[in-house]
Amino acid sequence: MVNQRLIYGFHAINARLWQNAKSIIELYILENKNDVRTREVLEKAAQENVRVHFADTDRLNAMAKGARHQGVVGFIDASKNHVHLEDVLDNLREPAFLLVLDGITDPHNLGACLRTADAMGVHAVIAPKDKSAGLNATVSKVACGAAETVPYITVTNLARTLRELKEYGIWVVGTDMGGEADLFHYDIPQAVAWVMGNEGAGMRRLTREHCDALVSIPMFGTVQSMNISVSAGMVLAETRRQREMKSVQ
């Protein structure tokens, strides 16, 4: 049985067409729409033999449940997205760079984290299956195509997965306000999995216990916390910066 999922917007549709066109069940495009981006989608869909239907605004609005779809809506077979963690790790040609999200339930935050992960070259994003936002149309839209390029791997037992990462020689580093080191003075390991908890409760106790180190993000203003996607952006960017610095030494 097909695990059908909705995607919409030019970024999400184009990323899917170029990265995994075989997973697209069908596309719906606003009738009489003839701008450059629409023509590019139609051309690529024809090349990939993707079925295209034309629909009016009311029908597209109903499909996208009122979200801003930009006149392009698609249905994909989400089962063709599935990637195993071992597949990612066994095919790496550089030290692992991973992001682990423990309990992120807001699809906007997940989409923003995926977008940042793609920009910084993260190899995969890992999350527990329970009490986490799954990939949906909102995530794909916010991620601007990154939901189709960055492997999003859900696991049934996050603590066990963290132990498995260590067996691969990957250092598991959690972000915590009470961390023993701060981000700007921490020598980030070459193979690293950054672990971030949700904004309210942070990491779960068992997740925290499986971290090799806890690192805080220095705060120089009056606010006491930041959005999870902003925090993720900071640790991923600092990791990339240190990697680039070490590569030229």
- Write out the binding residues: 197, 217, 226
CA–CA dist 162, 135 (Å, integer): 22
Distance of CA 25 to the CA centre of its chain: 22
Binding site listing for S-adenosyl-L-methionine: 197, 217, 226
DSSP the chain: ---EEEEESHHHHHHHHHHHGGGEEEEEEETT--SHHHHHHHHHHHHTT--EEEE-HHHHHHHTTT---TTEEEEEEGGGG---HHHHHHT-SS--EEEEEES---HHHHHHHHHHHHHTT-SEEEEESTTSPPP-HHHHHHHTTGGGTS-EEEES-HHHHHHHHHHTT-EEEEE-TT-SEEGGG----SSEEEEEEBTTTBS-HHHHHT-SEEEEPP--SS-S---HHHHHHHHHHHHHHHHHHHHT-
CA–CA dist 207, 107 (Å, integer): 21
Residue with tokens 């869909």: 45
